[in-house]
A and B are shown apart, each in its own frame.
Chain A
Amino acid sequence: MKLPRILLLVCAALVAVVILFYAKSSHINTAEHERFTTQLSRLNQLDATLSADLLKVRFHLLENYDTFPQQIEEVKRILGDLAQAPSFVPPAARESIRAKVDELVRLFELKAELLEDFKSQNAVLNNSVRYFPVVAAEVLSTARDHELEVHAGALARQVLTYSLNSNDELVPGIRASLARIAAAKESDGAKGLPLASLMAHADSILRRQPKVDDLARQLTSVPTGQRAEELHRLYETQFALAMQNANHQRQVLNGLCLLLVIGIAATIFALDKANRNLDRRVRERTGDLSRANEGLRVEIAERRRAEEALRTKQAQMEALQDASPLGMFFSAADGTCLYTNRTFERITGASQEQIRGSAWRNVIHPDDRARVIDEWAQATAAGRNYETILRYLRPDQSVVWASVKAAVVKQDGVVTGYVGTADDITERRLAEEKLEAAHRQLVDASRRAGMAEVATGVLHNVGNVLNSVNVSASVIAEGAKKSKVSGLTKATALLQEHAGDMGAFLANDPKGRKLPGYLQQLSEHLEEEQAAILKEVAVLAKNIDHIKDIVSMQQSYAKVSGLVEVLPVTELVEDALRMNATALSRHDVQVTREYGDIPPLPMDKHKVLQILVNLIRNAKHACDDAGRSDKQLIVRVAKNGNGCVKIAVSDNGVGIPPENLIRIFSHGFTTRKDGHGFGLHSGALAAKEMGGSLSVHSDGPGLGATFTLELPITPQAQN
């Protein structure tokens, strides 16, 4: 930008020089020049017309004087105009022009004066010239004196000739004629008057014509034309000078302007260059700006969107607040209500006016009012959140339950107010009540279900035992049916018959003789019978004991506390096997025992026993269902690595499909037609209760299954 600035300065300087030079130079105002020269030529024209009209008048070519006053007036006006020389004329020259114009004014004044004189004289001359022929004719027509007639005729000719050419040579002749007429007139009194008139007019013509001619000469010789010409030359000289001056100035100005144009061109080029530079930068900047603008626009759009979103949100919020199922309110720090939404109004059945300020107290149910007011006062005083359940009493006397929560709004640590919600929990409460009832029913149902479960378990277990009891009872009954006791009765009856001859009978009678042996045999039989029955009764008693245990165990379930005894595991396993012994033996299931060295464990005997009985029975069933001949059942008892005792019952039965593995412990799951789906379920529960677990493994259908009961070596504290 440095170069253009210098150029601009140079240009400015040049412009200043041009302006100064121009201001100093003289300006040729063409309009002024035009005016001046036009007026000058008009003056010459008028002067010429005036002279021409003058001659026309003199020779009767023009017979009125109307043109002269007009011409004189116009000349005066033009001279007044010409007194003001054009402004480009230098002062000195202006003065000489003015002097020349003044001279012309004087000359035209003289001319006007002479003109008036001319008009007056010419009028009188004309008067005579017009009338002279009339009076001459009159004289001649009435002349009686021949001499007078001749003289008068001569005079008429002479005067008319003179009037036409003003020849001075004619004057003496006229004078002579006049003298002759005057002499003759004395003798002719009758013609006195016309003759006198003739003579008077001849004399008038004679006297005035030279005067008029002289005046005309004077008029035409007034040097107005010369002066006007001088004025013209003077002005032309000045004009030429001014033009020359202007030419010089113009040349200088041309030079200056050329410089200026060069300077301007240079400036333009420089500016153009700078401009292009600027343009480029502007473009760049524009780019930046447009980018920024674009960014800004995007930002604005986003902001607008955000604002719109905000507005929408606000509207939504308001709508939400109104639509909210929650009644909302804002309170001042002192607890006076500032705002409530429509839901709040809906809940309380009161209008905003009936809620805001301290009016909210009145909508609270009288039973809750004092409490809530008191609590709210305490909460606001302490600046705490507040939460309560209260009732509102609507204007229609209906009661609304509400859960009201008010949260402190803090700004810079100062409590500025509260935001609160009121949840209409009337329906919820009803629902809760219903739910509670349902729950209760459920609980009852589940209790019943539990009882059923328990009962099932009990019955199941008792049923299992009862089987054995039944078997024992059958055995006993059969034994009793086949008892030889009746032989004894017959023997006793025989003895009764032969009570008198007992001896004889015993000795003689074949029957009697055989009787002692018979009795021997009978007693032996009866002893055998007794032994068998006693044995069976022992089993029976044991089974009945088991039933008793089951029942008492069930009682302990109900008490949630089991009797924990330290028992050898294997003994328990054996008990379980024994309890299933009849079934196992009946179905030819080969039982294999693989007992590790396991110390006695504290455990709930019945629970474990029950689990094991179940597992063994299941195994037996699985083997049965598989329909195979080599039914095998393996019971392993071993320590696990993680402080547990593992009791595994494996069979080579039907096996379990994988999909059933996970549901196998569910209540009611069974694959047997007469199954309850309870055994494994209660077993798993019982194992859990004891801090252990019951798990299953099967490689699939037909591949057998292994159920494993794990029990902790140190029992867990039971809840």
Chain B
Amino acid sequence: MFAFGLIIALGCVLWPESNSSAGTQPAPSPAATGREPIRPLPLKMELDARKVALGKALFHEPKLSRDNTISCASCHDLSRGGTDRRQYSLGLNNAEGSINAPTVFNSGFNFRQFWDGRAATLEDQIDGPVQHPAEMGATWADVVAKLRDTPQYAAAFKETYPDGVQSKNVKDAIAHFERSLITPNARFDQFLRGEQTALNSEEREGYRKFKQYGCVSCHQGVNIGGNMFETLGAMADYFAERGNVTKSDYGRFNVTGKEEDRFAFKVPSLRNVAVTAPYFHDGSAQTLEEAVAVMGKYQLGRPLSPEDIDHIAKFLRTLTGQYEGKPLQEVAR
């Protein structure tokens, strides 16, 4: 018995290649084969429900700010299209920031975070507002201590993460929640999925012009933007005409230091654009029409006709999706 076992054991040692297993090939990334430059949002995200729930609580948790007054939701109000609908957000002591808060909806589909794309992931992004002196002004040590002192968080973290309340877990949970903030089933997505009647003729005309006028060169992909950087004022000098240039206006340059990146910003997603006014990094455009006009002027290099603007704006309004089955609230006009 012993001898037999030994021979078997030696056999396994000496002829290991006989024991090899076929490695599973990772599935190839889905090829973007559609002829349309825009793709519909997925209807559902597969996420850890416990992390999403915890992230949701944390997202609305003022303890993440130094003086317990500001939560993520303060500036990314889910009932307001994931924004505060202000030009610049208010931080601690109502200190006004220097840049417009982008919507948190569908932020998981952005290839980078922030206007200047300085954060590669949602998790990294959270460090920014939490620690920014003018935003939530907190330190992770404080935040973690406060959360640990809160029994429900201590328990919920213990349940979800083996190491309990940790800054990385806070970020992970919030990022999970943010990835759950998708707004599928926009009328335009229905149109993309083959329902021609989902858009009326004006809207379809708007989409045609959106493509013809080159808007789609930057605002493409599943998030209709959010996957590249582009200089604001490609065909005309936006900042020269606006004036009062601040550091925030340098955009991507603040990250790379490259001169060609000055005034370059992450192309914002146009999803739910109708409910996320004001527009641009400087919150300068109050309406869609205004924004479309600015884009025509500086990115296309010539003012668009009111008809074009109207059509395009009408198309843009078809991009408003549903969160948890309900259409996002549109800004009153």
Task: Give the B-binding residues of A (Cβ under 8 A).
Answer: 15, 18, 22, 27-28, 30-31, 34-35, 38, 42, 45, 49, 62-71, 74, 116-117, 119-120, 122-124, 126-131, 134-135, 193-194, 196-197, 200-201, 204, 250, 253-254, 257, 260-261, 264-265, 267-268
Contact = CB atoms under 8 A, between A and B. Distances in A.
Interface residues of B, number: 52
Contacts of A197: 300-302
23 contacts: A15-B6, A34-B20, A63-B35, A63-B36, A64-B222, A66-B223, A67-B32, A68-B227, A69-B111, A116-B229, A119-B227, A123-B218, A124-B230, A127-B217, A127-B299, A127-B300, A130-B214, A131-B212, A197-B300, A197-B302, A260-B10, A264-B2, A267-B3
Contact of A264 (B6, B214, B215): B6
Contact of B220 (A65, A69, A124, A257): A65
A116 B16 contact: no
A62 B234 contact: no
A362 B230 CA distance: 131
Interface in B7-56: 7, 10, 13-17, 19-21, 23, 25-26, 28-29, 31-32, 35-39
Q: Pick the most buried of A131, A261, A268: most chain B CB atoms within 10 A of its CB.
A: A131
Interface of B: 2-3, 6-7, 10, 13-17, 19-21, 23, 25-26, 28-29, 31-32, 35-39, 111, 211-218, 220-223, 227-231, 234-235, 260, 264, 267, 299-302
Contact of A38 (B25, B221, B231): B25
Contacts of A28: 16
Given A42-B26, A74-B29, A268 B3 contact: yes
A194 B302 contact: yes
A260 B221 contact: no
Contacts of A62: 32
B301 A63 contact: no
Contacts of B228: 65, 116, 119-120, 123
Contact of A201 (B212, B221, B301): B301
A257 B8 CA distance: 11
Contacts of A63: 35-37, 216, 220
B221 A64 contact: yes
Contacts of B37: 63-64
B330 to A, nearest CB: 26
A711 B80 CA distance: 166
A30 B17 contact: yes
Contacts of A27: 16
Contacts of B13: 22, 253
A683 B159 CA distance: 133
A28 B217 CA distance: 51
A129 B213 CA distance: 9
Contacts of B10: 18, 253, 257, 260
Contacts of A45: 28
A34 B20 CA distance: 9
A372 to B, nearest CB: 85
Nearest to A34: B23
Q: Pick the most buried of B15, B35, B214: most chain A CB atoms within 10 A of its CB.
A: B214
A268 B2 CA distance: 10
A127 B32 contact: no
A124 B17 CA distance: 54
A135 B296 CA distance: 13
Contacts of A196: 302
A12 B264 CA distance: 74
A131 B213 contact: yes
Given A119-B229, A201-B301, A253-B13, A30 B20 contact: yes
A172 B212 CA distance: 28
Q: Pick the most buried of A74, A117, A120, A194: most chain B CB atoms within 10 A of its CB.
A: A120
Nearest to B33: A62
